[in-house]
């Protein structure tokens, strides 16, 4: 396949969109759901399924890379042997490490463990009323494995190394198409350069705040007890079992306050 073919252009555009998704969502999943119970996943089912799609897409991207021609030293290489050799001795192993299908594995484990727990729970309710069985030793082992695997999602963020190259390649290819080239020229002509610079700055600041917020909450859950976290949440007027969205908003507020002010108003001067 030629790198400028419509199919490869579409795949590159999809990959760029998914990398932006990874940049935003993976940090939230690691920062706020690292210690979440397997059967009490707080993300919507659609988002969890989309994570599986993202894993499958990046694996598919590795596959099609073997069949996509490349330019090397001014020469276009399109035969499978040359392309595969260049890829295997280049980015292949990096791509393999950064697309470990953790979401796919977790979804499979969740469907198995949670389905069996649901059946056992319904049986216990019929026999003992409201009694719910405890997690078995095998299920506990599964949870321990998954808790060790969840940090592997961080490796997805390393794929952002490809992001700038993909975007540059995509824009270069689109600039060679008359219709898209005309649209890009109109955008560059009517949008002042200062607006582009300001947009980059705003997005960079938003990314820093987002990352720091996720790191802050991950550090807090790893270094403090659940009781202290609950007291911290209640101190800001939220319920003890606040959902992920509310905890994320609280973390954003906390980080923004640290970055932009000199305090939280909890310490004030007193006159004698």
For the chain, what is the mean pLDDT?
A: 76
What residues have CB less than 8 Å from 141, skipping those under 6 apart?
none
Q: Render pLDDT for 230-251 as a digit per residue (tens, 0 to 9).
A: 888 888 788 877 888 888 888 8
DSSP letters for the chain: --TTSHHHHHHHHHHHHHHHHIIIIIHHHHHHHTT--GGG--S-HHHHHHHHHHHHHHHHHHHHHTTS-EEETTEEE-SHHHHHHHHHTTTHHHHHHTT--HHHHHHHHHHHHHHHHHHHHHHHHHHHSS--PPPPHHHHHHHHHHHHHGGGGHHHHGGGGGHHHHHHHHHHHHTTSHHHHHHHHHHHHHS-HHHHHHHHHHHHHHHHHHHHHHHHHHHHHHHS-HHHHHHHHHTTT--TT--HHHHHHHHHHHHHHHHH-S--SSS-----
Q: Which pTM does this prediction carry?
A: 0.73
Q: Render pLDDT for 17-45 as a digit per residue (tens, 0 to 9).
A: 888 888 888 888 888 877 666 566 556 66
Looking at the predicted structure, is the pLDDT value of residue 125 above 60? Answer: no
Distance CA 107, CA 41 (A): 10
User: Binning pLDDT at 50, 70 and 90, where does residue 113 land?
Assistant: low
Residue 144: predicted pLDDT = 67
Residue 38: predicted pLDDT = 59
Q: Render pLDDT for 42-88 as a digit per residue (tens, 0 to 9).
A: 566 667 788 888 888 988 988 988 888 887 777 777 888 888 888 88
Looking at the predicted structure, is the pLDDT value of residue 272 above 70? Answer: no
């Amino acid at each position: 396949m030629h790198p400028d073919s419509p199919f490869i252009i579409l795949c590159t555009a999809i990959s760029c969109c998914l990398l932006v998704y990874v940049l935003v969502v993976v940090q939230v999943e690691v920062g706020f759901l690292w210690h979440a119970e397997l059967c009490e996943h707080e993300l919507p089912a659609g988002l969890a399924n989309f994570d599986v799609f993202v894993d499958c897409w990046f694996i598919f991207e590795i596959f099609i890379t073997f069949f996509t021609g490349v330019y090397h030293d001014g020469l276009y290489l399109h035969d499978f042997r040359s392309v595969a050799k260049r890829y295997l001795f280049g980015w292949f192993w990096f791509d393999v490490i950064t697309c470990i299908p953790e979401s796919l594995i977790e979804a499979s484990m969740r469907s198995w463990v949670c389905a069996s727990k649901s059946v056992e729970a319904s049986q216990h309710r019929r026999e003992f009323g409201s009694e719910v069985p405890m997690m078995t030793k095998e299920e506990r082992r599964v949870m321990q494995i998954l808790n060790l695997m969840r940090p592997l999602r961080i490796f997805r963020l390393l794929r952002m190394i490809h992001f700038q190259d993909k975007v540059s390649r995509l824009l270069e290819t689109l600039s060679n198409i008359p219709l898209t080239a005309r649209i890009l020229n109109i955008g560059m002509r009517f949008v002042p350069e200062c607006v582009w610079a300001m947009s980059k700055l705003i997005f960079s600041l938003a990314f820093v705040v987002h990352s720091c917020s996720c790191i802050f909450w991950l550090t807090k859950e790893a270094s403090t007890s659940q009781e202290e976290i609950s007291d911290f949440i209640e101190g800001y007027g939220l319920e003890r079992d606040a959902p992920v969205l509310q905890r994320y908003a609280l973390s954003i507020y906390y980080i923004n306050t640290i970055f932009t002010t000199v305090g939280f108003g909890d310490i004030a001067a007193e006159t004698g």
